[in-house]
Every structure is written in structure tokens, then in C-alpha cells.
């Protein structure tokens, strides 16, 4: 009886956990970029991954998106084991991904970039309607016919966010979405991310402290490939160890 209850509780917990890694370790030759990372993301959560340069955030991110296969440990998305899966398999589960360097189709128009995302899961007409809507949401309506290669850096980042949004994901993984943006652009990007969070769980890798405060989620601090601590931004920034390894240098 007790056992049955325990199982039930476990199942309950699993249902809410949308991303889970166990003992995730990633080595490149002699360098260990991630060591024994146990991580869990609950449905609806907006989680930021922070840490000094070389802390293993981006490596961890790439293990989640299938761009890297972890040396040890496992990655599960909604109870499906995706360790070693290809990026298109993971995206196929309904996961929206934005990489650190803007990955867009430079030779194609803004509209077509977004359309290619919407069209994957929708019929032709529906895809066009969604494209028009999404292009307006990321405020690129005036330049929707321009080739993405001709746009400014911030606009290219928004094109990529638009592509993520047009896929109607339930889980979104973003690597430094505000990198290289002006303050104004960062504010709008934070707005977009909060909007995405209404329908999707998010993991955001970020450097910019003000940006993290603006999107205000829970924070996981990485240090030397391991998870140092988890908590709200206030808790994290009040912690002495975190201040020493990371924030301390900034303040």
C-alpha cells in the first residue's frame, strides 16, 4: 500500500518535470566541461542558467539540444530519453531552440525564415497566417521582405526568436538571447521571453544580470562544470559563494 502511494507520488512528480538530466558528464579529451549535473525543470518554469565564462552552461545547453552527446549520464524530455538524439528529433518533440550565434537563413526573407518554422507542423494556409502574426509580434512587419543577411544584429536575433515562436513549442531553450543587444533591444527581448513563457517552459542561458532580473525566474548557477546552487535571483545574489565565484567580480 505504501509502495503504491510512493509510486503514485513519483509519477505525479515526473508529470510535472519536463526536462531532467541525471549524472550528466561531458568531457572533451582531458577537459571536463560538465561533471555529474542533476538538473530538473518543472512545467511552466522560466529558468536561467548563469555562471562565469567556461562554467559549462553552453556545453550543458548543447547536450540538451542534441548538438552534443554527453559522455555519461542521461537527458530526458517529458520522460522520453533523448540522450544522443539528433537535434531534429528533439525539435520534433515540440522544443524551440535558439543558439548562441544567431542561426538564421541569411539568403531568405524574414517572412520565409519564419514560414519555414510554421510550415513544419501546419498546412500551407495556416502557416502563412501564423507567419504574418509572428512577424508582427517580433515587430519586423516593415522589413518582412528583406533578406535576413542584411539586417542588424538585434533584428536577426528577433528573427530567430520569431522562428522559435512560430513553431508553437511547449519547451523553449535559448542560449544568450540578448547577447550584443542595446539596452532598448534587451527590454523588448525580455518582453518577448515573458510572452513565450505564458505557453511554454523555458531554459535561458544568460550573462546579463539586469536581463535576468527583468525576466525574473529561478536561477541555476554553474561553476566549473557543476551546479553550484539553485534559487531565486535574490537568494543567488545574496549567497557568499556565488558572489565569490561570479558576482563578486562584477560588484
Partner 1 sequence: MTRDRGEDARLIALAVLAIAALLILPGTLDFSTAYGLISAIPMALLGLSLGLIWGYGGILCFGQTAFFGIGAYAYAVWAVNFGDTTGAVVCAIVLGAAFAAALGYFIFYGRVSDVYLGAITLVVTLVLLQVMRRTSGPEYKIGDALLGGFNGTGAPPMRVPWDTGTMLIGPPLLYVSLGALIVCYFVCVAITRSHFGRVCVAIRENETRAELLGYDARLYKLGLFAIGGGLAALAGVLSGLAVTRVTPELFNLKNAATAIILVIVGGRGTLIGPVIAAFGIFYLQKSLGSQQTVNLDLVLGALLIGFVLLLPQGLVPAVMTLVLRRSGRRRDFKATRRGRRPGRAATRTGRGVDRDLQAAE
| Nearer to partner 1 among residue 35 and residue 99 (C-beta) | 99
| Nearer to partner 1 among residue 84 and residue 92 (C-beta) | 92
The 120-149 contact track toward partner 1, x by CB under 8 A, reads xx--x--------------------xxxxx
| Nearer to partner 1 among residue 9 and residue 120 (C-beta) | 120
| Nearer to partner 1 among residue 119 and residue 223 (C-beta) | 119
From 51, 162, 167, 177, residue interacting with partner 1 (rule: CB under 8 A)? 167
The 47-76 contact track toward partner 1, x by CB under 8 A, reads ------------------x-x---------
| Measured CA angle at 244 (ends 243, 249), to 5 deg | 80
Per residue, what are the HEC states of the chain? CHHHHHHHHHHHHHHHEEEEEEEEEEEECCEEEEEEEEEEEECCCEEEEECCCCCCHHHHHHHHHCCCCCCEEEEEECCEECCCCCHHHHHHCCEEEECCCCCCCCCCEHHHHHHHHHCCCCCHHHHHHHHHHHHHHCCCHHHCCCEHHHCCHHHHHHHHHHHHHHCCCCEEEEECCCCCCCHHHHHHHHHHHHHHHCCCEEEEECCCHHHHHHHCCEEEEEECCEEEEEEEHHHHHHCHHHHHHHHHHHC
| Nearer to partner 1 among residue 52 and residue 87 (C-beta) | 87
From 150, 182, 232, 241, residue interacting with partner 1 (rule: CB under 8 A)? 150
| Nearer to partner 1 among residue 88 and residue 251 (C-beta) | 88
Measured CA to CA, the distance from residue 204 to residue 50 in angstroms comes to 9
| Nearer to partner 1 among residue 174 and residue 236 (C-beta) | 174
CA distances from 229 to 169, 181, 185, 208 (A): 28, 28, 30, 18
Site for partner 1 in 87-126 (CB under 8 A): 87-88, 91-92, 97, 99, 103-109, 111-112, 115-117, 119-121, 124
CB of 119 to partner 1, least distance (A): 6
CB of 97 to partner 1, least distance (A): 5
CB of 93 to partner 1, least distance (A): 9
Measured CA to CA, the distance from residue 30 to residue 87 in angstroms comes to 26
CB of 38 to partner 1, least distance (A): 26
The residues of the shown chain that bind partner 1, judged by CB under 8 A, are 65, 67, 86-88, 91-92, 97, 99, 103-109, 111-112, 115-117, 119-121, 124, 145-150, 160, 163, 167
Amino acid at each position: 500500500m505504501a509502495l503504491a502511494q510512493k509510486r503514485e507520488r513519483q509519477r505525479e512528480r515526473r508529470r510535472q518535470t519536463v526536462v531532467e538530466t541525471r549524472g550528466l558528464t561531458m568531457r572533451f579529451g582531458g577537459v571536463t566541461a560538465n561533471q555529474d549535473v542533476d538538473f530538473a525543470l518543472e512545467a511552466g518554469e522560466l529558468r536561467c542558467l548563469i555562471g562565469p565564462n567556461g562554467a559549462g552552461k553552453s556545453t550543458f545547453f548543447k547536450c540538451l539540444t542534441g548538438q552534443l552527446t554527453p559522455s555519461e549520464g542521461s537527458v530526458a524530455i517529458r520522460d522520453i530519453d533523448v540522450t544522443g538524439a539528433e537535434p531534429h528529433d528533439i525539435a520534433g518533440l515540440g522544443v524551440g531552440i535558439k543558439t548562441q550565434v544567431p542561426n538564421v537563413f541569411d539568403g531568405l526573407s524574414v517572412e520565409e525564415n519564419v514560414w519555414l518554422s510554421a510550415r513544419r507542423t501546419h498546412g500551407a494556409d495556416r502557416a502563412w497566417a501564423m507567419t504574418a502574426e509572428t512577424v508582427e509580434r517580433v515587430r519586423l512587419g516593415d522589413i518582412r521582405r528583406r533578406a535576413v543577411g542584411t539586417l542588424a544584429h538585434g533584428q536577426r536575433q528577433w528573427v530567430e526568436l520569431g522562428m522559435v515562436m512560430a513553431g508553437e513549442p511547449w519547451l523553449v531553450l535559448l542560449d544568450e538571447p540578448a547577447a550584443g543587444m542595446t539596452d532598448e533591444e534587451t527590454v523588448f527581448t525580455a518582453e518577448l521571453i515573458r510572452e513565450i513563457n505564458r505557453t511554454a517552459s523555458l531554459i535561458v542561458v544568460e550573462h546579463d544580470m539586469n536581463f535576468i532580473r527583468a525576466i525574473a525566474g529561478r536561477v541555476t548557477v554553474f561553476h566549473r562544470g557543476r551546479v553550484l546552487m539553485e534559487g531565486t535571483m535574490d537568494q543567488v545574489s545574496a549567497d557568499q559563494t556565488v558572489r565569490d565565484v561570479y558576482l563578486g567580480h562584477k560588484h
